[in-house]
Amino acid sequence: MARAQPTIDRAASVSSLRWSINQTPGNTARFKYRSPPVGDITAFIEVKTRRNLTCGRPEEAVTFLKQQRIRALARHWLHEHPGPFQRVRFDVVSIILRPGRPPEILHLKAAF
């Protein structure tokens, strides 16, 4: 079975992703996700943040091993929280914080 390609949302602002951001002195940021209305998809989201691209793009840090760990944690969570979870999705949100610039946010839906 062929795997579907992830869909990509490039957000001009965090509000379009239902995120709020508070940037503090020293270029530290705190992110808070506002849960959307209840739907038929349960999304497990890995968020990676970088201040520069010296070590590559943030989403590149979600390796196969990391994906396996996230899947295992999701199985455990689903086991501990029985419910009508009909569809599960694994997303990656990549955030680049550069001084004096707005955050660059890339949301990869169904990334793995």
Which residue bears the tokens 């506002």?
34
Q: What is the rounded distance in angstroms from the CA atom of residue 25 to the CA atom of residue 38?
A: 35
Burial class from Cβ neighbours inside 10 Å (0-12, 13-18, 19+) for residue 111 reads buried
Question: What's this model's pTM, rounded to 2 decimal places?
Answer: 0.69
Q: Under CATH, what is the fold of the domain 40-112?
A: Trna Endonuclease; Chain: A, domain 1 (3.40.1350)
Cβ atoms of residues 96 and 50 within 8 Å: yes
pLDDT-derived band at 104 (thresholds 50, 70, 90) equals very high
Please give the single-letter amino acid code of residue 38.
Answer: V
Q: What is the pLDDT of residues 70-96, one digit of tens each?
A: 999 999 988 888 877 678 899 999 999
Q: What is the pLDDT of residues 33-78, one digit of tens each?
A: 555 555 678 889 999 999 999 999 999 999 999 999 999 999 998 8
- With vertex at residue 12, the alpha carbon angle to CA 31 and CA 34, rounded to the nearest 5 degrees, is 35
Q: State residue 72 phi and psi, 5-degree precision.
A: -65, -45
Cβ atoms of residues 109 and 17 within 8 Å: no
Which residue bears the tokens 């914080």?
97
